[in-house]
Amino acid sequence: MLVSSQQNIEVFQTDRCTSGLLNLWEEHKIHFIIDGIVTVDTPLRFLMPMNEQEMNTLGHQELEAGGANQPNLPLGVVLCVDLDGTLVKSDTLVDSLLVMARQRPASLLSLPAWLTQGKAAFKRHITQTVTLDVEHLPYNRPLLEWLRAQHSLGQTIYLATASDHAIAERVADYLGIFAGVIASDGATNISGEGKLAVLREKFGERFCYIGNARPDAELLAACHSPMVANPDRALRSRLKSSGTIPTAAFYDRSHTLSNWIKALRLHQWAKNTLLFVPLFLAHRWAAGAFAGAGIAFISFGLCASATYIINDLLDLEADRRHPSKRRRPFAAGDLSALSGVAAVILLLAVSVTLAVFLQPLIFRLAGNYTLRLPYAFLGWLMLYMATTLVYSFYFKRKLLLDVFILSGLYTVRILAGSAATNVAVSTWLAGFSVFFFLSLAFVKRFSELEGLRERGSVISNGRGYFVSDLEQLRALGTGTAYASVIIMTLYIRDPDTRLLYGHPYLLWLVIPVLLLWLSQIWMRASRGEMHDDPVVWALTDKRSLLLGVLMGIIIWLAAGGIDRLTHLF
C-alpha cells in the first residue's frame, strides 16, 4: 500500500544532501533523488526545527509500505510505540474522562479522591469506570499503515504507554500487530525515565521508540533509530537542544488555524443575526440601538462557540462513529480536548464580560443611549448558556424535548436582542418565532433520521428516535411551519401594523414567498438533501437566499420604500 505525500509523512535522511537542496525545495516544492531517496513536496510547516548543520542533512522520503524505501531497523531491534498522541492523536485518559462526564457524571465527584492515590491508580479507576471505544479512536493513519507493514515483515512491535494496561490491551487486541504491551498497572506509572528503565530492563539497548511529547525525549535519545509522530513543540525543542535527529516523522494533523475555525463554528454565528430582528421590525435606526445589538451579537457568538465546543467534547465517541462528524477537529484528534476546555473558559469569560459592561460600551460607542434594564441582556445570555449546557448533558437525548428546547433557543436570541436594544418584542413576533423555529428544529431531527434510514439504521444515536418516527416528525414539522404562516397573516391584519407600514397590504406578498420557502426546505429534507443545519442551509443556498432577498424587498416597499421609489422616478 502506498502512503502518499498528502498524508504528511516525512523521513529525515542523515547521510548527506546537497547544500542548496532545502532552499530549492522550499521555493519550488519539486522532487529530488538523493542517494536513491525520492523526496516529496510535503508542506514546509511539517519540518522539525534543527540547527543549520542538521538542516543541510535533511531529506524527505515517500514511504511505500512493505517496500524498499522504508527506514530499516537493525536486526534484533524491537520497535516500541507510544499510545497517546503517537499511535492515537488524542489522549485516551482525557477521552475517557469526557466519556465519563457524558455517561456517568456523578462519578466526577470521585476524581479528587482518586487523584490522591497517585497517577497510576487514577488511570485505573477511570478505565474501570468507563469503556472507551478503541475501534473508532483517531489513529495516526500514516504511522499505523507503516506499523502494519512492519508487522507483515516480521518486525516485533510493542505498545509502550503510560496509559492504563487495560485500555492498552484493548487497543493491542483490536489492532493485532503488537507482540506485547508495556503500560501502567494501577500501582506504577510507566512514563518518561520510568518507561526507559522498563524498556532497558526488557530489551537492553536494542529497541527503537516512537513518541510525540516532552517525556519521550529521554527515550528517543537512548534508543536506536528514534522516530516521532505529531511531535509537540516541547519535544522538538528538547530534541534540538540534545542533538537527537529522528530518522522518521509521521504527521497526521491538519492546520491548527483551520481546525479552530471549524471548532468555533463561526458560520453558526449567522443564527445570531436574530438579535437584530426586533430592531429592524420596529424600524428603529438609532446608533445606540445598533451598538447594543452589535455588542450582543459578539457576546452571543462567543457564548455559542463555547457551547459548541462543550457539545463536541461530550460527544467525542458518538461523533467518531458518525460518517461526517468524525472529521470534526476534536473527534479527529486534530485539536486536543484540553485546549478545547481552555478555549471554553476564555470564550465564556469574554462573552459574560461584554454582557456585564453592555451599557458602558454602548455609551462609549454611540453616546447617550440608556437601556431601561442594563442587565436584562446578561440575564438572557445566562439563560441561553444554562439551557444549552443542560441540553448538551441531558435534554439532547430526550424525545421531543430536545426539539422544543432547540426552537426555544432561537426565540431567546430574539428576546435577548430586545433587551440589548430597548426595543419591545411584539406578541405577534414571539408567536411567529415559536412555531417557525420549532418547524426548523423538526427539520434538523427529520434530516438526521432520514440519513440513518439511508444507512440502514433503526434507532437514532441515543436520542430516542426511531426511523419509523419519520412520518410523524414530518407531520409535526410541516404543521408548525404553516402555523407560523397563519400567525403572519393575522399580524398583517392587525391595526397596529398600519402604524409601522405605510402600505401594509404589500405584506400579503410575503405569504406566498414564505410558503414556498418552507415547502422547499421540507421537500429537500424529505429527499434526504438537507445535510446541514437548516438555518445554515437557509443562509448558504442560492434559492433560499433569493427568496429571502425577495421577502426583504417586499417588507421594505411596505415600510415606505415604494414611496421613495415614486419620488425618485
DSSP character string of 214-259? GGGHHHHHHSEEEEEES--HHHHHHHHHHT---SEEE-----HHHH
* pLDDT at site 507: 92
Structural domain includes residue 543: no
pLDDT at 362 over 70: yes
* Pair 323, 421 in one domain: yes
**Is residue 362 one of the residues assigned to a domain?**
yes
**Residue entry with cell 482518586:** 114
Q: Are residues 234 and 333 in the same domain?
A: no
Handedness of CA 178, 182, 184, 186 (dihedral sign): positive
Confidence band (pLDDT; 50, 70, 90) for 285? Answer: confident
Q: What is the pLDDT of residue 458?
A: 62
**Is the pLDDT higher at 323 or at 509?**
509
Q: Is the residue at 308 inside a domain?
A: yes
Q: Grid coordinates representing 88? A: 492515537
Q: What is the domain-level CATH number for residue 182?
A: 3.40.50.1000
Is 69 a domain residue? no
505 lies in some domain: no
Per-residue pLDDT, 460: 59
- Do 303 and 59 form a contact (C-beta atoms < 8 A)? no
Domain of 239? 78-250
Strand locations in 299-348 (E) = none
Instruction: Please check whether residue 530 is in contact with residue 537, taking contact to mean a CB–CB distance below 8 angstroms.
Output: yes
DSSP 3-state assignment of 39?
Answer: coil
pLDDT for the residue 116: 94
Quote the pLDDT of residue 149: 92
Is the Cα dihedral 345, 349, 355, 361 positive or negative? Answer: negative
Same domain, 237 and 373: no
What's the gap between Cα 109 and its chain centre? 27
CATH number, domain with residue 393: 1.10.357.140
Instruction: Tell me how many domains the chain contains.
Output: 3
Contacts of 248 (CB under 8 A, 6+ apart): 9, 10, 11, 12, 71, 225, 227, 228
Q: Which of 217, 250, 283 is the last residue of a domain?
A: 250
SS3 state at 562: helix
Mean pLDDT of 265-291: 89
- 464 torsion bin: left (phi>0), alpha (psi -120 to 50), beta (else): left
> Do residue 298 and residue 382 come from a single domain?
yes
Kindly state whether residues 153 and 118 are assigned to the same domain.
yes
Q: What is the pLDDT of residue 497?
A: 86
pLDDT at 531: 67
Q: Highest mean pLDDT range out of 52-56, 268-272, 337-341, 452-456? A: 337-341
Q: Is residue 70 part of a domain?
A: no
Report how far residue 98's alpha carbon sits from residue 95's, in angstroms, rounded to the nearest whole number: 5
What are the backbone angles phi and psi of residue 18, rounded to the nearest 5°?
A: -65, 145
pLDDT at 461: 52
Mean pLDDT of the residues in the chain: 83
Domain boundary among 380, 405, 425: 425
Is 71 within 8 Å of 247 (Cβ atoms)?
yes
d(CA 13, CA 35): 10
pLDDT reported for residue 323: 82
3-state secondary structure at position 400:
coil
> Based on the domain organization, do 281 and 391 belong to the same domain?
yes
Query: Per-residue pLDDT for 345 more than 70?
Result: yes
207 has pLDDT over 50: yes
Percent of the chain with pLDDT over 70: 85
Report how far residue 429's alpha carbon sits from residue 75's, in angstroms, rounded to the nearest whole number. Answer: 76
AA identity, residue 498: R
Residue 18 lies in a domain: yes
Least confident stretch, 69-73, 378-382, 558-562:
69-73
The residue from 402, 425, 448 where one domain ends is 425
Q: Which of 161, 186, 156 is nearest to 85 (CA)?
A: 161
Which residue has cell 511505500? Answer: 64
pLDDT, tens digit (0-9, with 9 covering 90-100), for 419-442: 999 888 888 888 999 999 999 999
Under the banding of pLDDT at 50, 70 and 90, the label for residue 250 is: very high
324 has pLDDT over 90: no
DSSP state of 106: G
Q: How confident is the model at residue 395 (pLDDT cuts 50, 70, 90)?
A: confident
- The answer on 317 and 196 residing in a single domain is no
Whole-number Å distance between alpha carbons of 267 and 280: 22
Q: Do 410 and 313 share a domain, yes or no?
A: yes
The 10s digit of each residue's pLDDT in 30-73 is: 333 323 322 333 332 333 333 334 333 333 333 333 333 456 77
CB 172 within 8 A of CB 183: no
The answer to whether the beta carbons of residues 43 and 255 sit under 8 Å apart is no
